[in-house]
Structure 1
């Protein structure tokens, strides 16, 4: 469970680091945006690295960790897209999420 919680937190910071500047930050100089994003991404790494180490130590494979991270990333980004960027959620987004959940099911099957 700590692996999933840390991956969720790291993905929140990752999404903010990559996309915060699209709303309100677009007028800032690119170098400033990059430096701010690096600062935010540092927090993301401080959460993602332990998440992966803990998961791996508890028997998750590298593939399982990556697929779980991607599924969490699409969920976090979907919320960010709707709540912060004010973009609509469409059937294509839901279909992509369903496909990733299928990948999670496949990678964890039999474990």
Structure 2
């Protein structure tokens, strides 16, 4: 096993989650935009998410199980979202958000136990 199979999926998942977060939550900064426009733009952004997510899972499946890939993806999603919420939406996370995220991270860690 090389670093390629182990680390490339993680990098692709990070990139994928950045696109996903903008597709799912970026429009909240533009609440006056028509919903149809928001949907079309979000789908366009999500296209790039899939371009990264599918190879991440395909390559990652050579090293990780599907549940491990999903757990990893959830942790990456939370970390990307935490930065996005604070930086882009100007909505910093509170202690209870961090506590909830920490519990999800613990759950993802359990998935990796053999």
TM above 0.5: yes
Match of 1:84 in 2: 88
Q: What's the CA shift for 1:75?
A: 0.8
Deviations 1:62-81 (A, max 9, x none): 11111111111111111111
- Pairing 1:3–2:24 present: no
Q: What's the CA shift for 1:103?
A: 1.5
Q: Could you tell me how far apart the structure 2 residues matched to 1:21 and 1:86 are?
A: 13
Runs of 4+ in 1 over 6 A off after TM superposition: none
Correspondence 1:12-23 to 2 at 5 A: 12-23=18-29
Question: How many pairs does the alignment contain?
Answer: 108
Q: Could you tell me how far apart the structure 1 residues matched to 2:37 and 2:87 are?
A: 24
- Pairing 1:69–2:73 present: yes
Of residues 73, 98, 102 in structure 2, which corresponds to 1:98? 102
Q: Could you tell me how far apart the structure 1 residues matched to 2:53 and 2:100 are?
A: 23
Structure 1: state its 5+ residue gaps: none
Q: What's the CA shift for 1:15?
A: 0.2
Q: Could you tell me how far apart the structure 2 residues matched to 1:51 and 1:100 are?
A: 21
Match of 1:26 in 2: 31
Deviations 1:51-101 (A, max 9, x none): 00111022x111111111111111111111111111122111211221122
Q: Could you tell me how far apart the structure 2 residues matched to 1:54 and 1:96 are?
A: 30
Deviations 1:1-52 (A, max 9, x none): 00110000000000000111111x2212111110000000000000000000
Coordinate RMSD, CA, aligned: 1.0
